[in-house]
Amino acid sequence: MKAWLFLMLAAVAPARAGTIYTDVPESVEPAKTYLIYLHGRIIENSGPRPIHPRYGLYDYPAVLEALSSRGAVVISAQRPPETDMNKYAGVVVSQVENLIDRGVPPENIVVAGFSKGGGIATRVSSFLRRPQVRFVLLATCPDGPTAPNIRLTGRVLSVYEASDTLAGSCEPLADQPEQPRSFKEIKISTGKSHGAFYMPLPAWVDPVLDWVHGVGG
């Protein structure tokens, strides 16, 4: 794990928090939930805590901490600048297959992505084609035609912000002749536009973690 991530999280992680890695850990526990988080584009160029002129601070370490707060093992790494989404989706597919090969049930694996990271997650879903793997799409789907040749598979949760002018409902992407195993969508209203997902706001973190950990069905 990168030194900055360990130092920032070790001091503040709550007792129930899971562990955060930059890649699949050497030792896996099949009973645990493994959540692969794919960050937004700005992190590629500006580091783990960039400040956007419109949306403010994107606190990547705090988001990872929040996603691990109920015991999930979180896997997330800062991508290099100008990362190709299709190629990086192949990296994530390999991570998922690695976990499955080492005994983690597919239903215990979640791939979550925000903005560009969500675009990568849709490609992982399309390439992987494992119906039990789960996906969380955060502010992922822009208005207009759906991405060509992308077909969601698995169990999918989409979350978008009502005031966001960059991304909206993913229902058109899910409503293809070939559909995911299940699809659920939540619209939040924070007034923070795309920046709603820059911080671990309860408005999106709580329903995501409820869904990831099976609270309320």
Mean pLDDT computed over 174-185 = 92
Mean pLDDT computed over 72-96 = 97
State both tokens at 16. 């129930």
State both tokens at 139. 């502010």
Domain ranges of the chain: 3-212
Counts for the chain of helices (H) and strands (E), in that order: 7, 9
Q: Which helix (H) or strand (E) holds 203?
A: helix 202-212
Q: Which CATH architecture has domain 3-212?
A: 3-Layer(aba) Sandwich (3.40)
pTM: 0.90
Model pLDDT, residue 67: 98
Model pLDDT, residue 14: 39
Model pLDDT, residue 2: 43
* Cα–Cα distance for residue pair 4/22, rounded to 1 Å: 12
Strand partners, 107: none
What angle do helix axes 3-10 and 60-67 make, rounded to 10 degrees? 60
The residues, ordered by sequence, that sit 6+ positions from 177 with a Cβ below 8 Å of its Cβ are: none
